[in-house]
Structure 1
Amino acid sequence: MGAHHPGRDHDQGLADLAGLADLAAFERAELVREIEASGAFAADPRWRDAFAAVPRHLFVPYYYVSGAGGHQRRWGESRDPRAREQWLRGAYEDTPLATRLRDGELLSSSSQPSLMALMLAALCVEDGHRVLEIGAGTGYNAALLSHRLGDAYVTTVDLDPEITESARRHLAAAGYHPTVVTGDGARGVPERAPFDRIIATCTLASIPRAWVAQCRPGGLILTPLATGLVALTVRDAEHAEGFFLHTSAYFVPLRGESRPEPEPAAYGGVPRLARESDLFHFLLALTRGTLDPQEAYALWAREGMPGRERYGITVAGGAAWAWLDEPEGPYSWPLPAS
């Protein structure tokens, strides 16, 4: 039986690490090409450099994939080299990754990179802009912002101290040090305000007034709402308005936001075409509590199955409402108070 050589184990370990580093660089370059092909960088190609530089795998040391037997964990420190390679390749797929589960419920995830790229490009940042991110997640999005703008200009907030602590660790491992705050994202981060841009990576039922108040006049708020993404231009501390982007967007809800669970919709009389349409479900989500499915369908059919980009949101004083085509037009629906 041959003698054990610790030195060889060490050398093999270094070789494995070098191999993983090369594989990570290759997979990252492939991901950037895939995002570029999707058109997500089109509004601001400068984001390409950030995605090419920031190592996503450092932000997802483990994640969960759903399989026949429930969720399975992929882990970067598995003793099986094939499992480590599978983890690394998966970290650079253009898919969202479940990173935190509790009793089978998704609490936190790393968003789909091409959707992140589209949102960051739509944010229209310029050098010197101060950005607040609502929902720290893994820290990957904050790292992309820090790469582009510099650590001093980026603040990210999350309600869960475990999430903010792990985000700090991931960011430090990748060489980034933005301000990471543990707190209620719906309240913003007043001590770091004013901001030029606010971007949310969790979905809400309405637009928090604190965000509008903490954004500079002329600033931009980009947030998921009703399975879409709305870009609001801030006029002053009480007024903001803007249209939805064309794309769909599904995010984990903002924790800490109290809202009743929606009643299941009764689709009687709604044709199958609408029941299976993502755009119809967007309208239902946007008008929940105001239109029932039959009323929503009548409007949707009459207006030619409108895309998301025809809808918008207005925040004015103590009120907020959604609308089709124009804020003062015939179709508008109140949003819940926030």
Structure 2
Amino acid sequence: MGAAALDKDLDDLAATARAALVREIDTSGAWDDDPVWQETFEAVPRHLFVPYYYVGVVGGYERRWGESPDPRTRERWMRGAYEDTPLATRLRDGELLSSSSQPSLMARMLAELRVEDGNRVLEIGAGTGYNAALLAHRLGDDDLVTTVDLEPEITESARQHLAAAGYHPAVVTGDGTRGVPERGPFDRIIATCTLTSIPRAWLAQCKPGARILAPLATGLIVLTVVDATHAEGCFLHTPAYFVPLRGQTRPDPETLDLDAVPRRARDHELFRFLLALTRGTLDPHEAFAVWDRENQPERRRYGITVDADRAWAWLDKPEGPYNWPLR
């Protein structure tokens, strides 16, 4: 079979696989509240943003490459690009630096961002550029979208992927914790990396009423900005696991002693969320006492408040009996 025929087969596979992914996301209900995202995911080709990625195998990772001379490898690459799974895209010494998030989780986050026509949006964590392309397509104006990442290699490859797909939002190399003040003020900020707290610089670059959506602990927090120093909001019910935000000061990792915690809680996903949210404030036994007393609260009962002097997490209400400073 000639090269042209092979390319056509791969293009046909891309269209079929993308349509199947969109149906799968639709079935999950991810964009029920904002169905305009369905057309966006139908239009933006994910495979252009993952020319290669890594799949975990015994003993390490296997690289799948869209330019492989083996047609079967190229087919596996294309099919994998449209699976509803996160894809590892950049490794360093075995550490994951960047990835393309699970598409259905991306769709849910974008729908919860509640983007409106004309909004200026800042994305923290450029990744492959795919999320910025989805935002640019949805808004119909590349200049409304800014994406920032600390790693020059990541921003350069994101810029190339975006151009290949026909999108040209602002791609900035810099510390995402500082935002991008010269591109603001923003109506929406979305982070695609896990935070330990909410950078106050973001609030100062937002319009009153702006919406911030970010992974924190193992959940997704949605904040409404009141003014340059105040924001508040609750977690979504959705679990979320992302690469940590580089540039943000993080406490040193510590091994938690869970021996005093009953077995039913140790591996319970909601207890692990509370542990992550209160790390450095509650020890596991204290966290279990709260979790058990409050009947294993769902993420939606937790929230975060940021004011001029402090930032804290809370259960049920900001000034209630359960609140913990964010580190």
Report whether the alignment pairs 1:163 with 2:154: yes
Q: CA deviation at 1:255?
A: 1.1
Q: Name the counterpart of 1:30.
A: 20
Report whether the alignment pairs 1:251 with 2:238: no
Q: Among residues 92, 95, 120, which one is paired with 2:110 in the alignment?
A: 120
Q: Name the counterpart of 2:252.
A: 261
Q: Among residues 22, 39, 43, which one is paired with 2:29 in the alignment?
A: 39
Structure 1 gap ranges (5+): 1-10
Q: CA deviation at 1:264?
A: 0.7
**Residue identity opposite 1:163 in structure 2:** I
How many angstroms apart in 1 are the aligned matches of 2:305 and 2:206? Answer: 15
Q: CA deviation at 1:28?
A: 0.2
**Residue identity opposite 2:22 in structure 1:** V
Q: Name the counterpart of 2:81.
A: 91
RMSD: 0.8
Q: Among residues 118, 121, 124, which one is paired with 1:131 in the alignment?
A: 121
How many angstroms apart in 2 are the aligned matches of 1:321 and 1:69? Answer: 41
Q: Name the counterpart of 1:64.
A: 54
Q: CA deviation at 1:260?
A: 2.6
How many angstroms apart in 2 are the aligned matches of 1:98 and 1:318? Answer: 38
How many angstroms apart in 2 are the aligned matches of 1:147 and 1:126? Answer: 13
Report whether the alignment pairs 1:201 with 2:192: yes
Q: Name the counterpart of 1:82.
A: 72
How many angstroms apart in 2 are the aligned matches of 1:69 and 1:335? Answer: 37
Return structure 1 stretches of 4+ with deviation > 6 angstroms: none
Higher Cα Rg: structure 1 or 2? Answer: 1
**Residue identity opposite 1:313 in structure 2:** I
Q: Could you say what secondary structure the match of 1:176 adopts?
A: coil
**Residue identity opposite 1:70 in structure 2:** G
How many angstroms apart in 1 are the aligned matches of 2:175 and 2:217? Answer: 20
Q: Among residues 122, 143, 148, which one is paired with 1:152 in the alignment?
A: 143
Q: CA deviation at 1:152?
A: 1.3
Deviations along 1:189-230, whole A, 9 cap, x unmatched? 000010000000001110000111111100100000001000
How many angstroms apart in 1 are the aligned matches of 2:85 and 2:250? Answer: 28
Q: Could you say what secondary structure the match of 1:145 adopts?
A: helix
**Residue identity opposite 1:282 in structure 2:** F
How many angstroms apart in 1 are the aligned matches of 2:243 and 2:151? Answer: 14
TM-score under structure 1 length normalisation: 0.95
Report whether the alignment pairs 1:222 with 2:208: no
Q: Could you say what secondary structure the match of 1:98 adopts?
A: strand
Q: CA deviation at 1:259?
A: 1.7
**Residue identity opposite 1:251 in structure 2:** F
Deviations along 1:6-65, whole A, 9 cap, x unmatched? xxxxx8111111111110000000000000111101121110011000000000000000
Q: Name the counterpart of 1:3.
A: none
TM-score under structure 2 length normalisation: 0.99
Please show how residues 278-293 of structure 1 align to structure 2 within 5 Å.
278-293=269-284
Structure 2 gap ranges (5+): none
Q: CA deviation at 1:334?
A: 0.3
Q: How many residues are aligned here?
A: 326
